Chains A and B, each alone.
Chain A
Amino acid sequence: MVMKTLTGNFAVAEAVRLARAKVIAAYPITPQTTIVERLSEMTEKGELEAKMVRVESEHSALAATLGAAAAGSRAFTATASHGLLYMHEVLWWTASSRLPVVMAVAARAIGAPWNIHVDHNDIMDQRDTGWIIGVAQENQEVLDMTIQAFRISEDPYIYLPVMIALDGFILTHTVAPVEVPDQKEIDEWLPPRRQPYIVSPETNIVMGNLTSDDDYYMMRYSIQVAQEVAKKIIEEVDLSYGKTFGRNYGGLVECYKCDDADYVMLLMGSWAGDAKEALNILRERGINVGLARIRFIRPWPSEILKEKLKNKKGIIVFDRSISFGNVGQLFIETASTLYGMTNMRGVIAGLGGVDVKPEDFVGEVVAFVDDVEKGEVYDTIRWLLPPKYRDHKLGVTL
């Protein structure tokens, strides 16, 4: 083990090096990050024996990754925001072909207008594609989660691609201490790649051909089965990693001071650190709050959330994205699990990198608790407006 100070991007690159990825395909222009820049440097210096494939678009980047994976290689790619949206079609092809692949995504805002800062709408747009989707809080977790992603993706009960999201700029460009495991330890922990079939000149396999509707239906069903099984395997992999490397994170959800809490904040990503500070401030004031940090949005941790949160007085969900015409996506997901069991409120905050501080979380929780105690939780959506727009009148009168 060696202690380094790394950006989130470089933490991903270290993880991919340790996992001994064999093929990395990437489109090197905006909105690409320094993840593939660093991996390219590693392959040039001989620190990583991999083939870098430079392609002409993100659509092709994932298609090349899919091809390499079909041929039996441990394959990786990385992208962000618009690049991820451009890949969207191939995301479906990769998951539906049941090919183990790992991709890192710098979660960033989508235009128009242009904005390069953190936002979760790009990853939330991919929830239905069949990918397993993890979201990290710190650079250390970025490294650990990326290594774990290879083992999860290549598990014979799963064989699905895994996406690891790290908040744009807040993690991708912030330098922080990261413990980097030794290659030997990773070689022992991460088994060689396994996959159900390999395309090669010697094997006659047809991929993605026209099927009967019945077969199509059953293949869709099999993806859902794999997602359900992944819930258990993600927990097991996290525990096993913890035993070997001394760090595990709670599997699908990190429940921080949930058990004795009356109210729970539910969110994901790097602002969980600020929310934990808010939690401590609130507890000092006698408001008994916990935090459920979603680590995986797919598979969705419905059973754990139901078990941990159904008897709480209220759940306040902070979304860094919105499904226009409805509410925030995390709120929709949480409501699908807890509807009717507890009081719920959704807050839309931090879109396009708007800064959200511990005191902002404190303010929203206090307002929510007040309303619940008075029996008045009518609004399911609240806007935490940027400071300079705090007096802006919401809504429109017809």
Chain B
Amino acid sequence: MYIELRFHGRGGQGAVTAATILAKASVIEGKYAQAIPNFNAERRGAPVEVYSRISDKFIGRHSQVENPDAVVVLDYQLTKMVNILKGLKNDGIVVINSQNKESIGNVKTYCVDATSIAKRHSLIVSGWPTVNTSILGAISKSLGIVSIDSIIKAIYEHFSSPRLAKLNAEAATDAYKETALCGE
């Protein structure tokens, strides 16, 4: 098993944290993983890309991910600003935080309303819903690479505050339940 992902988010939205927690969850399952931020000196709100690689074997490759197996989009508005399908494999998958439930082009797309889920659990920082842990639940459901149990364990490992860990774990669980193929 070897899979490469690309996250599209905005600076400050937590895409790096999402990839990091995904790596932790993979390691909990005995896999090897990398979480790779690709940035210059980004500002809050600017589009950012983060990559992750997950495998059941050691990964020595450090060059950039160009042909991901799946693309994860934390903010629907980014689809109007950047080409989120750039380099996506032919049978690739999109996982998107979206309220309108529309597929992206002809690509197999999974939708989750991560923004509403984050608000429901009061995960708001400086006025922004923190959607990154909800997205992790959606990744677990749609890609099946890492179980939701491992995601939750990794969330508890990542957050030093038990209260925050619990809220984020609940958001991830809700997202796992609510993620579906767009339009369904």
Give A contacts to B, CB under 8 Å: 3, 5, 116, 137-138, 167, 169-171, 173-177, 270-274, 276-277, 355-358
Contact = CB atoms under 8 A, between A and B. Distances in A.
Given A174-B36, A175-B35, A176-B34, A5 B24 contact: yes
Interface stretch (B7-15, B56-64, B162-170): B56-64
Given A3-B27, A175-B20, A177-B27, A271 B33 contact: no
A274 B62 contact: yes
Contacts of B66: 357
Given A173-B37, A174-B36, A358 B27 contact: no
A272 B60 contact: yes
Interface in B32-85: 32-37, 40-41, 59-64, 66
A175 B64 contact: no
B19 interface: yes
B95 interface: no
A167 B63 CA distance: 12
Contacts of A273: 59-62
B62 A175 contact: no
Contacts of A167: 62
A3 B153 CA distance: 14
B151 interface: no
Contacts of B19: 175
Given A3-B27, A175-B19, A176-B33, A355 B64 contact: yes
Given A175-B23, A177-B27, A277 B60 contact: yes
A274 B34 contact: no
5 contacts: A174-B37, A176-B33, A176-B35, A273-B60, A274-B60
Contacts of A137: 60
Contact-residue bracket for chain B: 20 to 34
Contacts, number: 61
Given A5-B27, A274-B62, A276-B60, A174 B32 contact: no
Main secondary structure of the interface of B (DSSP, over half): mixed
B62 A174 contact: yes
B59 to A, nearest CB: 8
B63 A357 contact: yes
A277 B20 CA distance: 25
Contacts of B62: 167, 170-171, 174, 270-271, 273-274
A264 B136 CA distance: 43
Most chain A CB neighbours (cut-off 10 Å) among B23, B61, B62, B63: B62
Nearest to B19: A175
B148 to A, nearest CB: 18
B20 A271 contact: no
A116 B61 contact: no
A173 B36 CA distance: 7
B60 A116 contact: no
A261 to B, nearest CB: 18
A174 B27 contact: no
A277 B53 CA distance: 15
A72 to B, nearest CB: 35
Given A116-B41, A175-B34, A356 B23 contact: no
B28 to A, nearest CB: 9
Given A138-B60, A175-B19, 14 more contacts: A5-B23, A5-B27, A167-B62, A173-B36, A174-B62, A175-B33, A175-B34, A271-B63, A273-B60, A274-B62, A274-B63, A277-B60, A355-B64, A358-B63
A308 B57 CA distance: 29
A2 to B, nearest CB: 11
